[in-house]
Structure 1
């Protein structure tokens, strides 16, 4: 952040956290310790550490952590469930996540379908980012469960799309 730039408390705290250390801090607590902190206590994957946090925009860093949270959430689902995203506030409903992206310096987007199967895209500024991951019944039980977090991680790490080579 620039010296004369005005920022919210959250933006100030995020900027401080991003510049404080090479490894970002993360922690979680849960009533059942076995259910908590698997993501927060795990080392970052190689794809997330190719560039330092300081080199990433808030949008890119939010995008990378969202992929990790989605992947972690999906690892806890059974074969009859898939991940969807509920919207915080309003009556927008649920979005079955098919993709996640970012547009530097400050936008994150989710691609998917709503409850009626209509193509849906949510575009959100990183300062307004609120995501609720939900386990929903699979639409096509005859097919294997779709694990978008693992698919996104392969693309992120392997270079099928995005800026994986950076």
Structure 2
């Protein structure tokens, strides 16, 4: 909407509830045929806690990152500002209203869980060689999205 147009209060309210997303990707990572979603569930934006919003967006970023990986790599996360290092992502969760948690293994294979407040969330997605050569790489973005969609549907049925 240009600056010279007047927005009704209904339009302003609707525009505040619509999630917006913009990614300026390097040329090699661009896929103009790809329709990038800006949400996972159909739950209204105002009904989502900060933790649920962060969780949904992380799923979308992980799925997008995994699309660019070859069969020899899996997604992992590097964390800023601590000694946590890198975590091979095996699962994620959230605890309303403001906690996001990550499950996986560190670089030594030790079972690891990171619990983080959404205001402290700072994550680097990394490609790590998959652990077992014979197994296909694990793609968790799709599994996380399916799990969230199922739980949202179940909550809507209740």
Q: TM-score, normalised by structure 1?
A: 0.77
Alignment map for 1:75-90 (pairs within 5 Å): 75-90=67-82
**CA separation of 1:117 and 1:19: change in aligned 2, threshold 3 A:** farther
Alignment map for 1:1-166 (pairs within 5 Å): 20-32=15-27, 35-36=29-30, 42-44=36-38, 47-49=40-42, 51-157=43-149, 159=150, 162-166=151-155
Q: Deviations over 1:32-64 (max 9, x none)?
A: 2x52487x962346x422x11110000001101
Q: TM-score, normalised by structure 2?
A: 0.80
Q: Deviations over 1:87-110 (max 9, x none)?
A: 112332110001110000000000
Aligned residues: 142
Q: Deviations over 1:90-140 (max 9, x none)?
A: 332110001110000000000111111111011110011011110000100
Instruction: Give the structure with higher Rg (CA).
Output: 2
Equivalent-residue separation in structure 2 for 1:66 and 1:134 (angstroms): 13
